[in-house]
Amino acid sequence: MTSRKTNLNSTASAGVSPEAKSSTIEDMEQAYWQAVLNHDRSFDGQFFYGVLSTGVFCRPSCASRRPLRENVKFYVNPQQAQQDGLRACLRCRPLALTAADPNAERIAALCRFIEARIAEDQAPSLAELSAEAGLSPFHLQRSFKAITGVTPRQYADACRLNSFKQSLRDGQSITRSMVDAGYGSPSRLYERSDSQLGMTPGAYRRGGAGVHIRYTSAPTSAGPMLLAATDRGVCSIQFGDDPEKLLEGEFPQALLERTDEAPLSAWAQQVSAYLAGKRPNLDLPLDIQATAFQRLVWEYLQTIPRGETRSYSEVARGIGRPKASRAVANACASNRVAIAIPCHRVVRETGEPGGYRWGAERKRQILDNERN
């Protein structure tokens, strides 16, 4: 027997002969492999399989493309897979709890509790959250991240940051917005906003004033494309004939500069080649702003293989939020970096392309090109 079977030894009966034990493991692996081939949901939770060539582990029902048998290793639990250096699949989310699990409802209620406390400027402690959910701190942390994709603190930070941004949009001063959002000091605010806003709070409030955004345009198989970037990375990929008009949305006061020099020209050529099927993947640094939920959706979208699609409800189930189909659609509509975050691969339940920020016909064309 090969080494890939060793992690199932604990399931074999003690006291049997080596030959019988080997036969038992062999039969079990054959049953597991058949379950993987059949995407059999009835085996979910009974075992997990790792794909050594990609470094991920999945549930038996995972809808990903079937790996070669010689690259597969079976595990009794996720911890064994993680000890082998494998990471959880973002598509089937093997660490996520099912919606039927009683903890799912507890965590959903806890999210509302956190939101209410943030609105009252009272960020709850882990001990308070533990008492509210009726779970130990350890199980609370594990269940919360498995279901939402973020920790309780990250969720609270996202709620606080959203409150702060809304206050800025409403015309409040930075200091007033900071206090209203519950930031204890300016350093705490700037520590988070630097990575989550992509710019200072003052610049965000002023519609990007003082922020230097360079942009270029290029022809692609999907039509004229705009690519724009800050010093941190690509902040916009859009389709249209009027590049500057496309950038007047969230940052109307930013300093815009057209350039056809590197690295923007190279990034634009990379996207064009990818759309034409001449490049297997994209490697772009991104500078994007997102809520915790949007990040969860966008990370999942990046796992959908080229040439495949998922419905909004499939994405919702894939991120462990089966009732959030409408929120998934909103997250797709909020995407400002077309292709890099492939929201075009999310379609209606009927298989029809549905809406697209840059036009339904363009979405259909991109999907047809990817399938071909």
List pLDDT tens digits, range 10-26.
Answer: 444 444 444 544 456 67
Which region among 90-94, 101-105, 296-300 has the lowest average model confidence (pLDDT)?
Answer: 101-105
Cis peptide before 201 (omega within 30 of 0): no
Q: What is the band of 354 on the pLDDT scale with cuts at 50, 70, 90?
A: confident
Q: Which of 217, 334, 335, 341 lies closest to 267 in space, CA to CA?
A: 217
| Structure confidence by residue, pLDDT tens digits, 140-173 | 888 787 666 567 887 777 777 666 555 544 554 4
Domain with 175, as residue range(s), is 96-204
Task: Report the C-alpha gap between 283 and 301 in whole angstroms.
Answer: 15
Task: Report the C-alpha gap between 254 and 257 in whole angstroms.
Answer: 10
Is there a contact between 97 and 143 (Cβ–Cβ < 8 Å)? yes
Is there a contact between 335 and 298 (Cβ–Cβ < 8 Å)? yes
Active site residues: 58, 343
Boundary (domain end) residue, out of 88, 107, 128:
88
Task: Report the C-alpha gap between 301 and 332 in whole angstroms.
Answer: 9
Which region among 29-33, 211-215, 239-243, 319-323 has the lowest average model confidence (pLDDT)?
Answer: 239-243
18 vs 291 pLDDT, higher one: 291
The beta strand positions in the chain, using DSSP E, are 48-51, 56-58, 72-75, 87-88, 212-218, 225-229, 234-239, 255-258, 310-311, 346-347
Report how many domains make up the chain: 4
Q: Residue 257: exposed, middle, or buried by beta-carbon count in 10 A (0-12, 13-18, 19+)?
A: exposed
Residues 76 and 137 in one domain: no
Task: Report the C-alpha gap between 11 and 18 in whole angstroms.
Answer: 14
> What is the pTM for the complete model shown?
0.49
Residues 84 and 101 in one domain: no
Mean of per-residue pLDDT scores for the chain:
77
The pLDDT of residue 102 is 59
Boundary (domain end) residue, out of 224, 247, 275:
275
Boundary (domain end) residue, out of 184, 204, 224:
204
